[in-house]
Structure 1
């Protein structure tokens, strides 16, 4: 990891100019990037590319926003590596929600089909009452999300608890195992 300050971006040392040029290209093409000249950046740099590291919280929140909040299959699929794997081991075979998807394109198409189905419940997730805790592990490429989602009802809220295990590669989800009770999601 390398930390670059804004003055280093403006006046790079010899030999760093190519990497910094690539970094600026990445920053300018990334619509979610909110970099300002006064910011400090943490980078993973190798001889082939420069990528902006994302924290587990950033990865989780962008995945959550793309999937559960906006139901955007394209954005969800882009959260994964090209060979990423999405698994929901507790979902029975033949259920509407996919049990196992391999590859970004399969994730995109299967989740788009799932999101096109009518929502079976009038209950909406209440983001004010819902919450999550992220747990880091001894492996820096693995983190666990412990989630409690509360769905508003007619006087009686329904809480759904779930656990997700994320394996990350190059700032993207390489494997996600989503453990929830599928009967509570219907």
Structure 2
């Protein structure tokens, strides 16, 4: 039995945003899988388009290795909505990811991901995200809420 869209998405979030495990992320893709990040700027470690598990693993490892200011994902403050499509192998995720710094600063970034599956693995992932803004100081955060 193939995993549900929710199961694929939650495993992907755990492998990437929570545990930051590039091997686990790459293992979720088909051998010829594609990770496409069309909004990232030139020179970004994800290089806009990564093809194949090894390229995905290397790009995700480089990206996660460069994360210094993002902080830890706050699961309680993060949220997502999944949208099924007419194609049973495709779904869309709307995501608001909250990050907390050890010093109390916080930030949230919103993104959209389009998943296309094959045999229960990700064949194509279009990840429409931009880098989150710098974390707000705790006193600024209190005023914003």
TM-score under structure 1 normalisation? 0.66
Matched, 1:137 2:85: yes
1:163 equivalent among 91, 105, 112? 112
Q: Which runs of at least 4 in structure 1 moved beyond 4 Å after TM superposition?
A: 153-156
- RMSD value over aligned CA atoms? 2.0
Matched, 1:123 2:74: no
- 1:102-131: per-residue Cα shift (whole Å, max 9, x none)? 0111111222232233x3216332111111
Residues in 1 aligned to 2:11 and 2:92: alpha-carbon distance in whole angstroms: 15
**Corresponding position of 1:172:** 121
Give the secondary structure class of the aligned counterpart of 1:182: coil
Residues in 2 aligned to 1:170 and 1:185: alpha-carbon distance in whole angstroms: 39
- Contact kept, 8 Å, 1:90 with 1:182, in 2: the verdict is no
**Corresponding position of 1:66:** 15
| Aligned-residue offset at 1:162 | 0.5
**Corresponding position of 1:99:** 48
Q: Which runs of 5+ in 2 are unaligned?
A: 136-145
Q: For the pair shown, which has the larger CA radius of gyration, 1 or 2?
A: 1
Q: How many residues align?
A: 134
**Corresponding position of 1:36:** none
- Contact kept, 8 Å, 2:79 with 2:95, in 1: the verdict is yes
Q: Which runs of 5+ in 1 are unaligned?
A: 1-51
Residues in 1 aligned to 2:28 and 2:91: alpha-carbon distance in whole angstroms: 15
